[in-house]
Structures are given as C-alpha cells and as structure tokens.
Amino acid sequence: MRLRYVFVLLSAVWFAETARAQALAPSSAASACLSASVEAQDMGEREPAYRIVFKNRCDAPRSFLWCAENAGARVPAEVGCTGSGPAGEQRYLVVHRKEFLWRLPPGTRIRFQDCPEQEYPASGGCTPPPPAAPRR
C-alpha cells in the first residue's frame, strides 16, 4: 500500500510538466481559426503519450503544419521543429478536428502554423500552392 502511494505521487510529479501548444503566428486573424490542446495519456511507459488535438473554429477547412520541440530532451525526428518552426512536407487538412498521439518527453512544446485551405504553410507565412505541371 505504501509503495502504491509513492508510485502515485511520483507519477503526479512526472506529469507536472506536461506538453503545451503554441501557434507560430498568433497575431493574425487566420490563426484564430485553429487551436490546439495537448493532454498526457498515462500508459504506464517511461515516456508519456500525448494526445494532440487540433480544432478548427472556422467554417472553412484549414491547411496546417505542426512540430514538437523540447530544450532538455530529444523529440522524434518525424515531428521535430527546425530553427524557425515546422518544416517538411507533412501538411494536414483539418475540417473540424484532427488528432495525433505521440510519445514525447515531458515539457515538450507543440508549435503549429495554419493557413486557408487553398494556401500552404511555409516558413515565412502562407503561400499559394505551386503551379501544376503543364499537361502534354
């Protein structure tokens, strides 16, 4: 019984520093459409699993990128941030809600950037899609 109490107390301390989400461009009206929440899922493992939920509060679909960063620990390369934030080609489209589940070290910060459906998030903001290749 005493060991169980110690385990519960240690678990509470371990999850005290949980992940959090932050928009990369919170000042623009467009970024007011997408919000993110992060919740630790206790699965009895060394690293907690985090449920990352993006919700679209606007009437139109949003295109977005997200990444994870942690100053004191390594995050998986597939979702790691570059110097300025999200990078890579893994863009997502969210109509109402999109969920991800990742094992991340405590204290990880989730960063995201969103754009209107017809545009793509890029390092400097939203850009139009690349032109289609001409048909022959």
Domain ranges, residue 63: 33-126
7 pLDDT tier (thresholds 50, 70, 90): very low
- Residue 83, pLDDT score: 72
> Could you tell me which of 18, 7, 26 has the C-alpha nearest to residue 113?
26
The string over 69-96, giving b where at least 16 C-beta atoms fall within 10 Å of a residue's C-beta and e elsewhere, is bbeeeebeeebebeeebbeeeeeeebee
Q: What is the pLDDT of residues 57-79, one digit of tens each?
A: 998 999 888 989 899 999 898 89
Euclidean distance between CA atoms 134 and 89, whole angstroms: 22
pLDDT band at 89 (very low <50, low <70, confident <90, very high): low
CA 99 to chain centre: 9
In a domain, 118, yes or no: yes
Q: pLDDT grade, residue 98 (50/70/90)? A: very high
The tens digit of pLDDT for each residue in 34-60 reads 999 998 887 776 777 899 999 999 989
**Number of structural domains in the chain:** 1
Q: Does pLDDT of 102 surpass 80?
A: yes
* 98, 104, 106, 112: CA torsion to nearest 10: -40
Please check the confidence at residue 14 and state whether its pLDDT lies above 80.
no
Assess if residue 135 is contained within a domain: no
Q: What CATH number does residue 37 fall under?
A: 2.60.40
At residue 9, the pLDDT reads 38
The answer to whether residue 18 sits within a structural domain is no
Q: Is 133 within the bounds of a domain?
A: no
Higher pLDDT, 110 or 90: 110
Distance of alpha carbon 90 from alpha carbon 78, whole angstroms: 9
> Does 80 fall in a domain?
yes
112 in a domain, yes or no? yes
* Cα 17 to Cα 14: distance, rounded to the nearest angstrom: 7
Residue 71 resides in a domain: yes
